Amino acid sequence: MAKLYSNKPKSDFKLNPKDETISFILNYSKALSVINYKSMKFESLQN
């Protein structure tokens, strides 16, 4: 039998981001507010 030297294709990934990343995103979302003034939009980050 010929040996197979090729690696298995790395196509099936099941990975999750770190909890810190998720919590950063959620906190960013809570802190960000967009203020509309006439036709302009202002973003402000409040911690």
Partner 1 sequence: MQKELISDAQLVSNYIRGEESALEVLITRHKQRIYSFIYSKVFDRDISEDIFQDTFIKVIRTLKRGKYNEEGKFLPWVMRIAHNLVIDHFRKNSRMPKFDNSGDFNIFSVISDNALNAEKTIIKGQVEADVRRLIDELPEDQKEVLVMRMYKDMSFKEISERTGVSINTALGRMRYALINMRKVIEKHNIVLTN
Q: Which residues bind partner 1 (CB under 8 A)?
A: 5-7, 9-11, 13-18, 21-22, 24-26, 28-30, 32-34, 41, 43
Q: Report the nearest approach of partner 1 to the CB of residue 1 (Å).
A: 17
Is 25:18 a contact under the CB 8 Å cutoff?
no
Q: Report the nearest approach of partner 1 to the CB of residue 2 (Å).
A: 13
Q: Report the nearest approach of partner 1 to the CB of residue 47 (Å).
A: 15
Is 32:45 a contact under the CB 8 Å cutoff?
yes
Residue type, 24: F
- For residue 19, what is the enclosing H or E element? helix 19-31
